[in-house]
Structure 1
Amino acid sequence: MSTNKETLNQLREAIDDVHDQRKLFQHSLTQEIIASHEFSDEQLAKITKMKLNHSKVEILSIVNDAANCRIKRSQNRLLFLRAWFRATSSN
């Protein structure tokens, strides 16, 4: 019987260790996201409350990259149009 109790205790310790590692991972992942982006105070509060895993971070990254890409394209188009208007209005 003591072998079963020992095994059960070892399993509980292993589960606790995995749980602690998961908490540490989530904390470090959240801190990495916060450090790598500029967020408002409201966004920071929401991110801190979220339980992020690697997949969620990948999705957030893709969405962020897509938004940045659209913004960059819009800026480039605006610069082109300004240059075009200047060129055509000077004639």
Structure 2
Amino acid sequence: MRCNWCEKDEAKSIVCTVYWELPDGLRAIEILDTPAIHCLSCGMEYQTEDIIEELEDHLMLIDTEKIGKSITYDQLMSLPKLLKRNYFRFN
């Protein structure tokens, strides 16, 4: 897999812990076991644009008050949505 940062073919899929600010900006949460990319060449760990968009959209559509300080990615993504989609994304 090609790394988005150094463009070498030494990247691989992993899961990691990320810290994400909630849409209201009042706090951040720890999200465990989040899909990510790790490059063996440059050492960078990052989420793909698809995962970032999926996380941000889901956090806009759920009741974030029900989330504690820490949650797994799968638990987060299984929380029920209050709306069918993010109506603020115009693409």
TM range (shorter): under 0.3
Structure with the largest fraction of helix: 1
Normalising by structure 2, what TM-score? 0.27
Normalising by structure 1, what TM-score? 0.27
Structure with the largest fraction of strand: 2
Q: Which of structures 1 and 2 has the bigger CA Rg?
A: 1
